[in-house]
Structure 1
Amino acid sequence: MASDLPRLQSPIAVQSALNEFSRIGRNTFLARYGFGKSRTFMVRNPENGQLCDSKAIVGAAFGFQYPTEGPLIPAAFSGGEATVVTKLQSLGFVVVEVGHDWSQGEVDATVAAYFDMLIAEAREEKINKSERNASLRSLLQNRTKASVELKHQNISAVLHEMDLPYIQGYKPRGNSQLLLRKTVARFILDHPDVLEQTVDALEEVKTPGASTFHAVVVDAPLVESIPVVPPHAARLRLPRKIDFAGRDASNRSLGRAGEQWVLGFEQHRLAQAGLDDLFQRVDWVSDRLGDGTGYDILSFDAEDAPRYIEVKTTNGAHKSSFIISRNELDFSRESGDAFQLYRVFQFGTQPKLYMLQGDVTRHLHMEPIDFRASFRRMIA
């Protein structure tokens, strides 16, 4: 029956299927005709603007045009751009790709709702994401729960690219439309207080609950490849007040709290490994001598195997960016595998960490962000 698809030639039959879809509802319609939900393409009902599953509409429409033969079953034809999309467009219907047709009003509402959740999460307020999703969809044009969640993930990706905090429950997912990226940037510039309140809440030093140190070590994020901004393209310049990584680095109270937590983690690790004799030799160097040594804590892997630990702490998410000084970078290279960078994240709620051993440039993309200006030039 694959050859039957070209026989669908009636716009009236397609409209009849669209009207039935609107009348009985999506789930009932799909169940009646045996189709699953469209993942990529939806067709718009010109009478009410509702988006309907494209392949299911075509299958049902065939039955309206040829009632004695009945609708096409899913296995009878393939969906996609070359078949269903082309057929519907040839009959005068608008087909849209899921997630790529959002209006400015819809994007504005979604971005505002996202930032409202972001600041609530930073303040550790309870969030019912399902209820908020449903509330937002009441302002949108027939969007599904999944499409709203995808849009939230797209917003997380935009914020992550800006080195800004994002909702941890919505992991970054790229391929966002240009309209969304521009709207997020404009919201940040027009509402600096919202992001400042979020960062302020994340910077607040909260002592974690009872520290058991079990299951807190996770894998480090992988380095992602992202498109380079063309030299001629305008860059978004954000105020320093919302330089999240920089503010983390300058928040000494948060840094000290994270180092103290790592001190306890190391003592626990050595005790669990049966190295009780090394327990008392763990040294909080930065507390005793101050910064400048290139690491914060001296620990051990064995009697003659020191572990030089540099601690970077944030209340933010797993992939949050952080600042490394030139001195720390040089020390990581000089010390080789004896150096370990401990990245502690989600510190105020459920502390977790990952470890980067040795030269940090083996694990991270390093971007120079500042220069020291003087009137002296170094020569060989």
Structure 2
Amino acid sequence: MTNNWSDFEVEVAVEDYFNMLRLELSGQKYNKTEHRRALIEQLNNRTNGSIELKHQNISAVLIEMGIPYIDGYKPRFNYQRSLLPLAITDYLEKNPEIQLLFEKDSVFIPAVPKVEDFLAALEQPPAPIDRKESSIAEPKIIYNPGGVNYLEREARNQLLGDAGEQFVINFERARLIRAGRDSLADQIEQISITIGPSAGYDIRSFEDNGAERFIEAKTTKYGKNTPFFVTPNELRFSQKNSSRYYLYRIFKFRDTPRLFALQGNLEERCILAPSEYMARTA
């Protein structure tokens, strides 16, 4: 079996991925195994594992483009940078109507899912991404040819953010009540409402011993590995209050909300990359 994928193999893998993504964003069920079986017949003796990896590579490119990805394919960044982004860009340019699907989904606000056990939603943060997987040390920035970063657009949706904050408040109440601190649970404050963005965080909660816990909530309908966006004010607050600061990442908010927490200075817990610049004439 050859190691390098041909142009044709990459093209059909990209097309299959987008076929599944269309179904997922449209709320339709599909079978990944059946898709893989149909795809493998068009490929040059590829294994199931190699196809899985290629789909994960496609997820990585879409994230860098600011496009929703298939949650079941965890992004892997060790992709063919000379071939895969070009194939994805070519598909998007030939199928411009798919941008309407991305647009519709990025602004869609799901009904707040019913949760019986909020504490059961907590899980570990994703494993750190190994950027050394990449074959190029300084990869070029990849842009969506449609000109829109849909992940950033979703992140700026205030209604989604408000719904996520309510989820976190309910989670914190459940956590404190389970610890026998009902009086503290009654004192949780939605700072984003009472003070506003200038505070640098969203929710004031408490530790079991009564110490304050400062929480920034970031919500997405997409998967665990979806990047989130941090303002300079939020970053500074996390640096000044690292011992009491938590970022709660709420994901899969469409139907089965989950969350993980990062404690401390965001500069130490995250890979931070600039997303926009203020410019003046030279």
Aligned-residue offset at 1:273: 1.0
Shift of 1:298: 0.8
- TM-score where L is the length of structure 1: 0.66
Match of 2:31 among 128, 134, 158: 128
Deviations 1:14-36 (A, max 9, x none): xxxxxxxxxxxxxxxxxxxxxxx
- 1:131-182 deviation line (CA, Å, top 9, x unaligned): 2222233444454444433321222232234443321212223433332232
Q: Which residue of 2 aligns with 1:255?
A: 161
Structure 2 CA distance for aligned equivalents of residues 122 and 362 of structure 1 = 33
In structure 2, the CA distance between the partners of 1:192 and 1:338, relative to structure 1 (3 Å rule), is farther
Q: Are 1:210 and 2:119 counterparts? A: no
Show the 5 A alignment for 1:106-145.
106-145=9-48
Return the alpha-carbon distance in structure 2 between the equivalents of residues 293 and 325 of structure 1. Answer: 12
Partner in structure 2 of residue 181 of structure 1:
85
Aligned residues: 275
Indicate the residue corresponding to 1:78 in structure 2.
Answer: none
Q: Could you tell me how far apart the structure 2 residues matched to 1:322 and 1:329 are?
A: 13
State the structure with more CA Rg.
Answer: 1
Within the candidate set 197, 201, 219, 1:313 is matched to: 219
Residue 316 of structure 1 deviates from its aligned partner by 1.3
TM-score, normalised with respect to structure 2: 0.86
Match runs of 1:34-183 below 5 Å? 42=1, 96-97=2-3, 100=4, 102-177=5-80, 178-183=82-87
**2:198 pairs with one of 288, 292, 297:** 292
* Secondary structure at the counterpart of residue 167 of structure 1: coil
The match for 2:105 is 201
Which SS does the other structure have where 2:207 is aligned?
strand
Quickly say closer, same or farther: Cα 1:328–1:210, change in 2 above 3 A: same
CA contact (8 A) 2:119 2:175 kept: no
Does residue 229 of structure 2 align to residue 229 of structure 1?
Answer: no
* Structure 1 Cα separation of the partners of residues 273 and 78 of structure 2: 23
- The answer (yes or no) to whether the contact 2:64–2:143 under 8 Å persists in 1 is no
Q: Give the alignment of 1:357-376 within 5 angstroms.
A: 357-373=263-279
Instruction: Give the aligned CA root-mean-square deviation in angstroms.
Output: 2.5
Query: 1:296-348: CA deviations, max 9, x gaps?
Result: 11111146411111111011111111110111111111222111111111111
Compare relative contact order (CA 8 Å, sep 6+) and give the higher one, 1 or 2.
2
Describe the SS at the equivalent of 1:324.
Answer: coil
Whole-angstrom CA distance in 2 between matches of 1:245 and 1:281: 33
Aligned residues of 2:119 and 2:171 also touching (Cα < 8 A): no
Cα distance in 1 for residues equivalent to 2:56 and 2:242: 37
Tell me how far apart the structure 2 counterparts of residues 191 and 337 of structure 1 sit (CA, whole Å).
48
Q: 1:308 to 1:371 in 2, by over 3 A?
A: same
Unaligned runs of 5+ in 1: 1-41, 43-95, 376-380
